[in-house]
Structure 1
Amino acid sequence: MPKNVAAFLLMAMIALVSCKNEKKEVEEVSAVETEELKPIELKEFGYNLNHYLVVRDTIKAGDSFGEILQRNNIGYPEIYNIVEGVKDSFNIASLQVGKPYTLLCDKEDSLQTPKCFIYQPNSIDYVVVDFADSAKVKKGKKEVKLVEREASGVINGSLYQTLQDQGLSPIVAYKMSDVYAWTIDFFRIQKGDRFKVIFTEKYIDDSIYAGIDKIQAAYFEHKGEPIYSFRFETDSTKHIVDYFDETAKNLRRAFLKAPVQFSRISSRYNLNRRIAYYGNKIRPHKGTDFAAPVGTPILSTANGTVVESTRRGGNGNYVKVKHNGTYTTQYLHMKKRKVRVGDYVKQGDIIGWVGMTGNTSGPHVCYRFWKNGRQVDPFKQDLPKAEPIGDSLKVKYLAHIEPIKAQLDGMPFPSDKTTNEEEYITELNQKNAISDRKPN
């Protein structure tokens, strides 16, 4: 074979192999690109949203369930059937202005008719009304991640302000006031009182903040006296949870310290008080006045049955609650009453709102306290306490709180730092940002 022919054939074979390799390489790249372009599944409310045209909106003033469906191409006969199908499982009149809703529509339908309606009464819960098969209602919750956080501080004004200065939600203050409601009057905390708190925050989809969950543990030093509190479930079948101190004593008492949160005592029980309203004459004041803005919720200080709920004379609107054969409480000058005679109320239930009805010169609730039929000063009574943890659970409880107490004890106060308070808060926020230990 001539050399030039052989060279030609060799070059042709090399070119053929090169083309095959190039084609294979192009095919492999195309396969990778195709795989990369595959749409990511977007799942929410139990649906793959890729399969639907998604319409999101919020309830507007004047909106109704039927009007929303009618605006989105569902006729009145079908709306009627849907409403009839869900009336026993979903109250369509419960839609609140400003709350979000979602419509999932068929992509192949030129009219884009919704296949289901999804309502979110809050950031976690949702209700799905599926229009198929005479309408079905499904209720669900978005997956919530709990993130543990820490905070500590020294009181200069109020607990609320101290937490706010650290960029924390005021809800932490309210939840702490609930934990210590039986042992500390939070309006009377003093400058220099100190606290530490471990709490959990809720996040949806790992990033959407959904509020404060629970106080896991706290330490409050009031007038130099340290008071620990640890959250503990005493009955897993009934989900009974309470807060106890480091010796397993229950922080709860039979009566709350005050019938209103974050109020101040404007007048105490005093049998020789001169009252300006009555011309500065001496008239026994057999109640304790808690000053608070009009509309502040008034709480029943203990479990009991409402025996009076009326308006009368100088008392104005008032409620009287009988707790047992020994104790009765009364709440005067309400703007509005929430309960009726015969209602059973639990400790902390709202029974009315602060007002100025009856003989009063300013907004407050006059809290009166009876023991064995005689009005007494509640702050001078040796009131019963809740039962401590039983012996069978005490060993488990003490083991449970041991690492948590060590965590609390190891948390510094801002004043314990050599750096200034601003640097301390920055350091604490950085620590909280990376804290992701699963709460107990």
Structure 2
Amino acid sequence: MRKIFNLKTLLIALAVLLGLFAIKWFSKQKQNQSISQETVVMDTTEKEQVHLKYGFPIDEFQVETNAVKRNHSLSTILRQYDVSYGTIDQIAKKAKTVFNVRKIKSGHEYSVLFTKDSIKTPEYFIYENTPVEYIVFDLRDTLNVFKGEKEIEVRRKQVKGSIESSLWNAMVVANSDPLLSIELSDIYAWTIDFFGIGKGDQFNIIYEESYVDDQPIHEIKVIAANFIHHNTNNYAFTFVEGDKEGYFDELGKSLQKAFLKAPLRYSRISSKFSNNRYHPVLKRYRAHHGVDYAAPTGTPVHTIGDGVVTKKGYQKNGGGNYISVKHNSVYSTTYMHLSRFAKGIKAGVRLKQGETIGYVGATGLATGPHLDFRVYKNGTAINPLNLKSPPVSPVKEENEARYKIEMEKLMNELNPPEAITLE
């Protein structure tokens, strides 16, 4: 019995010792784990403090930022920093598939990143091609050229105001980008004559504005708006159906009308919109801000949208017989090289979309019968083939419920209900 008792005592003592050892071991592992986690947190904090610019830890370099001066080229700029002609030649060749170095423009910013030592060796030249896109020229032995893009921050804003003199000035007074006035004129092009707006008209707009490096880059998208013209509300809400986005009123009706895809039928495009086209008659390169449709003489030419004839005339050394049509306060079109005009066409005549205004010819500077067709947006020529074709029908029946939800949400954002004060 004594032996059995001693054996039991020994086993209990052994169990207690093993328990104490296990507790101590787990405690140590937990402590180690805690130390490891604290170390990771410290590393993460240090990484967050790294200041990145153009994708580089900018604090690790000496940086000089300047603007390109008039008539300065890549070579002129880099020679200021003692970059050799050989390196400049090689880097320019490397850039061919990425960026045309001849397109470096005066006024654009650039930065040079130097080593942080007494020698101050230039390692990178960075040219800001646009407010978003930049070109990196790696001047080290690797000699590389690549594009990068800055991060764009989109801010949602709302602005309200009244017109005293002009919509442009009203935007300035409201401390908003005046380009908003152009956006509004485009949205309401078919419903409001922006040449007729005036004192007393009001606007209420929700829009998104893009920022880079905390600076606006003049990229604006109107989300919802109400333009009060002659004491009448004119609502506009953006809505996407399929691959098309348009603006609709509170009833789901489109604010826009479509243009015809082309001003004539049975034709082919013989020359496209270009800033530097070889002229077959003048035998030199010059801008061609239109699209040429080759067609037989006498082919009817139609206006692509409702409008008013503003000009009808003849240019001996240019467009020959031509007609200009104003469609609204934003868009106008011109039709050139006509063989003759349609009956009754003259300045001031109102036209319906698709109405015949003239016939294809080869008058003026032309080598053969064709129509030179031009489109202008706010007075500036644009590529007719890139003319937007927004939805012109009401919101589709299958999308009505979704549109109503989105529209009402935006309506409440434009006109938030007054807060109820509890007494």
Normalised to the residue count of structure 2, the TM-score between the two structures is: 0.57
Question: In the alignment, is the contact (CA less than 8 A) between 1:300 and 1:345 conserved in 2?
Answer: no
Question: CA separation in 2, counterparts of 1:387 and 1:343?
Answer: 30
Choose which of 144, 158, 162 in structure 1 pairs with 2:166.
158
Match runs of 1:123-272 below 5 Å: 123-132=131-140, 135-205=143-213, 207-235=214-242, 238=243, 240-254=244-258
8 Å Cα contact 2:189-2:330 kept in structure 1: no
- Structure 1 partner of 2:395: 389
Matched, 1:66 2:75: yes
CA distance in 1, matches of 2:123, 2:337: 50
Q: Residues of 2 paired with 1:151 and 1:351: CA distance?
A: 27
Match of 1:402 in 2: 408
Q: Say which SS state the counterpart of residue 211 (structure 1) adopts.
A: strand
> In the TM superposition, what is the alpha-carbon distance from 1:107 to its structure 2 partner?
2.8
> Residue 351 and residue 56 in structure 1: after superposition, are their counterparts in 2 closer, same or farther (change >3 A)?
closer
Q: 1:410 to 1:309 in 2, by over 3 A?
A: farther
Q: Is the 1:182–1:255 Cα contact (8 Å) retained in structure 2?
A: no
Change in CA separation of 1:401 and 1:342 when aligned onto 2, cut-off 3 Å? same
Rounded to whole Å, the distance in 2 between the matches of 1:65 and 1:403 is 52
Asked if the contact 1:156/1:191 (under 8 Å) is kept, the reply is: yes
Work out the CA distance in 1 between the residues paired with 2:353 and 2:325. Answer: 21
Q: CA deviation at 1:77?
A: 1.5
- 8 Å contact 1:66–1:79 — kept in the other structure? yes
Structure 1 residues 38 and 408, CA, compared in 2 at 3 Å: closer, same or farther? Answer: closer
Higher gyration radius (CA): 2
Q: Compared with structure 1, are the counterparts of its residues 88 and 323 closer, same or farther at alpha carbon in structure 2 (3 Å cutoff)?
A: farther
- Residues 1:348 and 2:377 are matched in the alignment: yes
Report the equivalent of 1:5: none
Q: How many matched pairs? A: 286
Return closer, same or farther for 1:77/1:329 CA change in 2, 3 Å cut-off. farther
Moved more, 89-98 or 118-127: 118-127
Return the TM-score normalized by structure 1: 0.55
Q: 1:37 to 1:250 in 2, by over 3 A?
A: closer
Alignment CA distance shift 1:327-1:95 (3 Å): farther
| RMSD of equivalent CA atoms | 4.1
1:84 and 1:232 map into 2 onto residues whose CA distance is: 46
Identity %: 28
Q: 1 or 2 for the larger relative contact order (CA 8 Å, sep ≥6)?
A: 1
Q: Which consecutive unaligned segments of at least 5 residues does structure 1 have?
A: 1-35, 257-267, 271-285, 291-297, 311-321, 331-340, 354-383, 413-440
Q: Which amino acid aligns with 1:61?
A: R
For 1:84, the aligned partner's letter is K
Letter in 1 for 2:336: E
CA apart distance, 1:100: 0.4
Q: Give secondary structure in 2 for the equivalent of 1:226.
A: coil
Secondary structure of the corresponding residue to residue 150 of structure 1: strand
2:100 corresponds to which of 81, 84, 91 = 91
Aligned-partner Cα distance in 1 for 2:331–2:325: 15
Structure 2 counterpart SS, 1:225: coil
Which secondary structure does the structure 1 equivalent of 2:126 belong to?
Answer: strand
